[in-house]
Amino acid sequence: VSRVLLTGASGFIGRHVTDVLLAQDHEVHAVARRAGVRRERVTWHEVDLLELGAAEGLAHSLGATELLHLAWYAAPGRFWSAPENERWIDASLRLLRAFGEAGGRRAAFAGTCAEYVWGERILRERGTPLEPATLYGACKLATHAAATAIARQLGVSLAWGRVFFLYGPGEDPGRLVSGVARGLLAGEEVPTTDGLQQRDFMHVGDVAGAFAALLAGDVTGAVNIASGEAVAVRDLVTMIAREAGALQRVRFGELPLRAGEPPVIVGDSRRLTEEVGFRPAMMLQAGIAETVAWWRERLLTEQRDGASARKNDP
Amino acid sequence: VSRVLLTGASGFIGRHVTDVLLAQDHEVHAVARRAGVRRERVTWHEVDLLELGAAEGLAHSLGATELLHLAWYAAPGRFWSAPENERWIDASLRLLRAFGEAGGRRAAFAGTCAEYVWGERILRERGTPLEPATLYGACKLATHAAATAIARQLGVSLAWGRVFFLYGPGEDPGRLVSGVARGLLAGEEVPTTDGLQQRDFMHVGDVAGAFAALLAGDVTGAVNIASGEAVAVRDLVTMIAREAGALQRVRFGELPLRAGEPPVIVGDSRRLTEEVGFRPAMMLQAGIAETVAWWRERLLTEQRDGASARKNDP
């Protein structure tokens, strides 16, 4: 049992990480601008880490031994190029320094596959050039460079989990899997790209498990949070559509790829499996089935609530 | 003629860059916490760039087309590991974004040879791994990573001049060449390391000329501001001591090397000479003679001022 400071706790990964940490008997100090669900052994701290002094106040009052830093600017679509990315460099470095100065000993931060140059087939922690094509990737890379030196100076053991593509229940519908699932279940026509690009997808529950394993271990430096498997987006969307029983309403090829999107993004997962000792448990087909089922339930609830709200309208 | 926004204008390189820019007929907007020497075509702006909003206010009010950003935390000795390095990442990124948003088109920033891994014999812009051994180097590297993406987004052409070792008139006496020159001329015994380590030294006037050339050109990315020549610190110190006529007062081997100091740090200077088209003009022997002469004059002035201050004491 240890006291874990968890930022981004109300986010997509953060909510699933909370489940994993609680299952492992940790005490969770959850940081978010607004408190999420109340649970036993979860203490919420309503803090905007972008405010000067916020990270320092939090770290010094808590004296946590472990830090899992997931918070970042994450508005779907916009996060790739929003200037907010730049502010999160400073906020993250302030947090790490305050955590280390308050006696913190182990930290895991969320990085991204977008730190790597896009174009190599398999992205490896050792060997693939770090030449981000996006502002988001560049600001994560910048954070990692400075955080590495801060951690060394303060004697904090720091792991840097590079997140690839993910999906699962509770994801913002502005993102791929959720958007397609929700749209098709709501009876809409859903335009997509041609979907020939291949990506490395991992279920959010596994991403959360990987971060918990990373934090619990002593591996330092960059670790791909990746499955090691490439799936064509077209195949993934087809899987979703079959589950939703609406293959005929997918319109492949109607959306363009974002400029510079490479044909393949897949991570070498050997550091994660061999050094951290974590293997993802969820097969893609099962994870997609679960996600589509979650959205079906969610839409039914929304419809009931909508109907009841209309009935109660004066 | 163009309007150049120059930060760190009162610093060692900044003062010499001002000379070069004025000689090239530019209008200089000099930024420093406290204004330096008044000169024609130099407008001082007393601004602390670490204050929120400072960079933005400055950039938007000036609308400069060119930015030369030299400002950083620079206290001798302390700068290698001071937390202030971390704040300069954010300050530098804010400045670049504000400059670009205000219509700025060309920027050159000061980086450092400490961004490279220590241990390779010749440090090359393309090929040498970027694995800084110091917080200073890591924070410069972080700034470069994020600045590259910001510049691309805003259409600013950005060059990154990696400064190696420098010397010349006006340097802080807390640094090597000035410290040895001043100490010996003042009649002191001067302890040094064994001096077997080799470093790439460039006269500050040439460093300033290189930055002016970098800013005037269109080369983007990292460029070593280096001579390409390694000199043993022992030979450099001997040169200074001969000029000062005090070789017998140098105590080689009395100071330890800082932990992790590599035997050789020398930069590949081909990008600077071939792509930027700049060649250093000052030979080491002549530069050292000039620097020792400058300190001799300076110490005489200090003695006169001291004597006259004592005479006028009530």
Please tell me what DSSP assigns to residue B78: G
Q: Write out chain A residues lying below 8 Å of B141, CB-based.
A: 142, 145-146
Closest chain A residue to B85, measured at CA:
A146
Q: Do B153 and A81 touch (CB under 8 A)?
A: yes
Q: Do B86 and A132 touch (CB under 8 A)?
A: no
* CA-based nearest distance A188→chain B, Å: 35
Interface residue B150 vs chain A (CB under 8 A): yes
Q: Write out chain B residues lying below 8 Å of A86, CB-based.
A: 90, 93-94, 97, 146, 150
Q: Do B141 and A145 touch (CB under 8 A)?
A: yes
- CA pair distance A96, A158, nearest whole angstrom: 10
**Single-letter amino acid, residue B34:** R
Structure tokens at B2: 């163009």
List the one residue out of B112, B88, B109 whose CA is nearest residue B165. Answer: B112
Q: What pLDDT does B313 receive?
A: 59
Q: Which residues contact B124 (CB under 8 A, 6 or more apart)?
A: B224, B267, B268
Interface residue B134 vs chain A (CB under 8 A): yes
Interface residue A112 vs chain B (CB under 8 A): no
- CA pair distance B50, B84, nearest whole angstrom: 10
Interface residue B137 vs chain A (CB under 8 A): yes
Q: What pLDDT does A276 receive?
A: 98
- CA pair distance B84, B14, nearest whole angstrom: 20
Contact A145, B142 (CB under 8 A): yes
* CA-based nearest distance A150→chain B, Å: 7
Q: What is the pLDDT of residues B291-303, one digit of tens each?
A: 999 999 999 999 8
- CA pair distance A128, A120, nearest whole angstrom: 8
Q: Write out chain A residues lying below 8 Å of B93, CB-based.
A: 86, 89
Could you give phi then psi for residue A61, rounded to 5 degrees?
Answer: -75, -30
- CA pair distance B176, B142, nearest whole angstrom: 27
- pLDDT of B314 > 60? The answer is no
Structure tokens at A303: 């419809």
Span B155-182, average pLDDT: 96
Q: What pLDDT does B261 receive?
A: 87
Interface residue A259 vs chain B (CB under 8 A): no
SS3 content of chain B, % helix, strand, coil (to 5): 45, 20, 35
The B residues from 41 to 70 touching A (CB cutoff 8 Å) are 52
B139 to each of A89, B148, B175, how far by Cα in Å?
Answer: 11, 14, 21
**Single-letter amino acid, residue A211:** F
pLDDT band at B220 (very low <50, low <70, confident <90, very high): very high
Q: Do B93 and A81 touch (CB under 8 A)?
A: no
Q: Which helix (H) or strand (E) holds B120?
A: none
Of the candidates B97, B134, B142, the beta carbon closest to that of A142 is on: B142
The ipTM value here is 0.93
- CA pair distance A161, A113, nearest whole angstrom: 9
Closest chain B residue to A87, measured at CA:
B90
Q: Strand pairing of A231-232 and A198-199?
A: antiparallel
Of the candidates B81, B94, B146, the beta carbon closest to that of A139 is on: B146
In order along its 314 residues, chain A shows pLDDT tens digits of 689 999 999 999 999 999 999 999 999 999 999 999 999 999 999 999 999 999 999 999 998 999 999 999 999 889 999 999 999 999 999 999 999 999 999 999 999 999 999 888 899 999 999 999 999 999 999 999 999 999 999 999 999 999 999 999 999 999 999 999 999 999 999 999 999 999 999 999 999 999 999 999 999 999 999 999 999 999 999 999 999 999 999 999 999 988 888 999 999 999 999 999 999 999 999 999 999 999 999 999 988 988 777 766 65
Spacing of C-alpha B78 from chain mean position: 15
The widest CA-to-CA distance across chain A, in whole angstroms, is: 65
A82 to each of A35, A72, A73, A85, B155, how far by Cα in Å?
Answer: 25, 11, 8, 6, 15
Q: Which residues contact B205 (CB under 8 A, 6 or more apart)?
A: B16, B19, B20, B168, B281, B282
Quote the pTM value: 0.94
- CA pair distance A68, A89, nearest whole angstrom: 15
Q: What DSSP assignment string belongs to B251-307?
A: ETTSSPPPTT--SEEEE--HIIIIII-------HHHHHHHHHHHHHHHHHHHHHHHH
Q: What pLDDT does A312 receive?
A: 63
Structure tokens at B79: 């700068």
Q: Strand pairing of B231-232 and B198-199?
A: antiparallel
List the one residue out of A223, A2, A143 whose CA is nearest residue B149. Answer: A143
- CA pair distance A115, A121, nearest whole angstrom: 14
Span B171-191, average pLDDT: 95
